[in-house]
Structure 1
Amino acid sequence: MTQHRGGRAAASPSLDQRVESALHGIVPRESRPLAGLIVLLLIAGACIYLLPDFAPLTSIVVPLVLANLVLGPRQLPWFVVMSLLMLAVLVPQQPEVTPRTAVTVVILFALGFIILLSSFRRSRLGVAGLQGESMLVDLRDRILRQGGIPELPEGWYVGSELRSAGGTPFAGDFVVAARQGDRLDVVVVDVSGKGEGAGTRALLLSGAFGGLLGALPPEEFLGSANDFLMRQDWDEGFATAVHLSLDLLTGDYAIRSAGHPPAALRAAGSGKWSALTAEGPVLGLIDDVTYEPATGTMRSGDALLLYTDGMVETPHRDIMLGVDKMLGQAERVLRGDFEGGAARIIERIGSRNDDRALLLVHRR
């Protein structure tokens, strides 16, 4: 007879739940990868011992490589030692120990030593190889999401593009955007260094700048960002940035720069680009600085470009010549069509050996 409590039948556990409970009682969840690899190692050892003509000594490589992928830094060294001890026991059992066998054993011990070294380096992070990679991917996705442009009212188009040196997803340049009511704030940042070397600093700064951008008035953002970098005490602890604060109702804008290449404005009436002068010291070098804005109003048809020095800077050439070249390219690429313009410009110009970021704002 079914018993009821509170008007509901007491549900019996499913088969999957019973199996899961039984397994947990035998092997804790966190130890199951290690247990499975030990079983695999024992199977490989048994095959090498019983079928030496069909199972080579190199069969031990399979559990070693899998262990390097899934085991944490506390379990991996012990598994490697166990594998090498099994190898030492199995070698004398071989029908014939030839020079080829000796070379195989040396290679396997060298592989185990390399995995041990990687395990000791990984112990600083405290997670297994695949977990560490997934954490980096998650952080990379977060920085890219922060660079996403929020939904804008009709009549505005904003596009951004990033390219890293070497083509990797990690770069020292990034874009952060935030919308508060009718105000859009966007900052384009160039962290010292390039590629993966600057990527870790960019990950930290993007999170911090994203919080500051949405919480502070526009006139306080760069000053607070500078204070944040000053507290980090990095060897390469500086960055350049350009900050745009745009009123989406009136088109009024204020641009503040921290050692960054000048923003550029295209006036729809004349069709010409002009540099907007807004100067200020680089972030992270000088305490208690202020950043004066360049102000104006975007009218229908006007466009703004914000970019990093990878777009315009090359050795042995003045940066303003690079700016002129980029604006000339922008004039040809954007003629009559601003949609996707940031991607078209960044593909045609800029140094492939440096990180590049570009932001395009257009009032339709």
Structure 2
Amino acid sequence: MVVAVVRRARRLHPLAFFALLSLSVVFAIASAAWPTHVPAAALVIPLLLGGLVLGFRQLVVFTLVTLMIASFVLVSRQAPVPMTGFLLVIGAIGWIVIAGAKVRNQLGVPGTRGESMLMELRDTLTAQGELPPLPSGWRAEVAIQSAGKSKFSGDFVVSTQRDDVLEVALVDVSGKGVDAGTRALLLSGAFGGLLGVVPVDDFLPAANRYLRRQDWEDDFATVVHVAVELTTGQFCVRTAGHPPAIQFDAWSGRWQTRDADGPLLGLMEAPEFAPNHGQLKPGDALFLYSDGMVETPRRDIGRGTDRLAGAAERLVAQGFRGGAAELVAAAGGPGDDSAIVIIHRLEHS
């Protein structure tokens, strides 16, 4: 309800200005008439509300008018009031509100619209990471944990299903947390558009060409891309500078690394990405993960992969249900973004 009112007020700036001005006048009259019940500090309330809904110029005018109204209230009182100190406090609050509005004005978004846009972009990134519903006999899960518990992450997932083929790409953008969030938002839209449109073999080359066009000097991305035929369980894994996928073989109980060497995206003009083919039999599972799951300053990727497989081994008895969230919480590094995707072919559909 409150969010809807704020959004409507942002669309009607003149109306919001006069409404807040009227509110300030009401507070001023009430404070002058009943000084013991309505303090003059109540004038701060419309000033703060103005910072949420008014444009920059309107806010400057409204702040000056509020200072004039506050002066009138203090002068009209019979009891002595520390006028200078109170006006300085009101002026300081107004300056803080105006400074914040000036930054938002440079972006061309008044009030809290900038924050709302970031929230919408975050929700878009989260929605794109949701896996499509799979047919009977298959289950897939994804979990992402950002460094520092931020809502933005340099790791993201895009996926699609077409012609009984499930395609999933787990991407790790250079940087972490909020620092990598803007690039992750840009690439998630681009890679999500490519996935399912270009042939499976062309996805990573097309993603590399897109990243090269961005002309990022020191930034890059790593990707692990898998295409699974849901009718037969046949799959193909390709990686671009990313840790390899690992497969759980339910028949032998062993874990197998699916190495598929490929260079980082964005560094070479025409790289080649070697495929690694395999099959998921009933009970088998395939794990895609970012380096935050297996690599730390004190542990290399090889040992981290063994540790991840050991943690996943404990989930076999529960059929890996809920395993993505558990593994991210248990094995994810606190100082880096962590993400994992589990694709499980059920034994009994």
Partner of 1:256: 238
Normalising by structure 2, what TM-score? 0.89
Cα deviations across residues 45-91 of structure 1 (Å, max 9, x unaligned)?
Answer: 32344444543332211001111122234432332232234334544
Partner of 1:12: none
Deviation at 1:95, TM superposition (A): 3.9
Report % sequence identity: 43
Partner of 2:294: 312
Q: Does 1:35 align with 2:30?
A: no
Check conservation: 1:49, 1:93, Cα contact below 8 A.
yes
The alignment's C-alpha RMSD in Å is 2.1
Check conservation: 2:129, 2:157, Cα contact below 8 A.
yes
Deviation at 1:94, TM superposition (A): 4.5
Matches within 5 A, 1:141-180: 141-180=123-162
Matches of 1:45 and 1:235, distance apart in 2: 57
Partner of 2:40: 57
Partner of 2:108: 126
Partner of 2:53: 70
Check conservation: 1:333, 1:344, Cα contact below 8 A.
no
Matches within 5 A, 1:79-158: 79-95=62-78, 101-158=83-140
| Residue 203 of structure 2, aligned match among 196, 218, 221 | 221
CA separation of 1:285 and 1:86: change in aligned 2, threshold 3 A: farther
Aligned partner of residue 269 in structure 1, secondary structure: coil
Check conservation: 1:185, 1:244, Cα contact below 8 A.
yes
Deviation at 1:138, TM superposition (A): 2.0
Deviation at 1:204, TM superposition (A): 1.6
Cα deviations across residues 200-230 of structure 1 (Å, max 9, x unaligned)?
Answer: 2212211111101121111111122122222
Q: Mark the runs of 5 or more structure 1 residues left unpaired by the alignment.
A: 1-27
Check conservation: 1:73, 1:126, Cα contact below 8 A.
no
Deviation at 1:333, TM superposition (A): 2.2
Which has the higher Rg, Structure 1 or Structure 2? Answer: 1
Aligned partner of residue 105 in structure 1, secondary structure: helix
Count residues with an aligned counterpart.
336
Check conservation: 2:32, 2:76, Cα contact below 8 A.
yes
Matches of 1:224 and 1:88, distance apart in 2: 65
Partner of 1:9: none
CA separation of 1:247 and 1:347: change in aligned 2, threshold 3 A: same
Deviation at 1:148, TM superposition (A): 1.2
Q: Does 1:340 align with 2:316?
A: no
Cα deviations across residues 171-221 of structure 1 (Å, max 9, x unaligned)?
Answer: 111111111111111001111222222222212211111101121111111
1:193 aligned partner, one-letter code: G
| Residue 328 of structure 1, aligned match among 307, 310, 316 | 310
Cα deviations across residues 247-281 of structure 1 (Å, max 9, x unaligned)?
Answer: 11121211111111111011122111121111212
Matches of 1:305 and 1:336, distance apart in 2: 16
Aligned partner of residue 153 in structure 1, secondary structure: coil
1:345 aligned partner, one-letter code: L
Aligned partner of residue 114 in structure 1, secondary structure: helix
Check conservation: 2:13, 2:55, Cα contact below 8 A.
no
Matches of 1:312 and 1:268, distance apart in 2: 23
Cα deviations across residues 298-336 of structure 1 (Å, max 9, x unaligned)?
Answer: 222211100111111111221211111111111112334
Partner of 2:3: none
Matches of 1:103 and 1:230, distance apart in 2: 58
Deviation at 1:353, TM superposition (A): 2.3
Partner of 1:297: 279
Matches of 1:180 and 1:124, distance apart in 2: 43
Aligned partner of residue 124 in structure 1, secondary structure: helix
Matches of 2:57 and 2:266, distance apart in 1: 38
Normalising by structure 1, what TM-score? 0.86
Check conservation: 2:145, 2:332, Cα contact below 8 A.
no
Larger CA deviation: 304-313 vs 104-113: 104-113
CA separation of 1:234 and 1:92: change in aligned 2, threshold 3 A: farther
Deviation at 1:131, TM superposition (A): 2.9
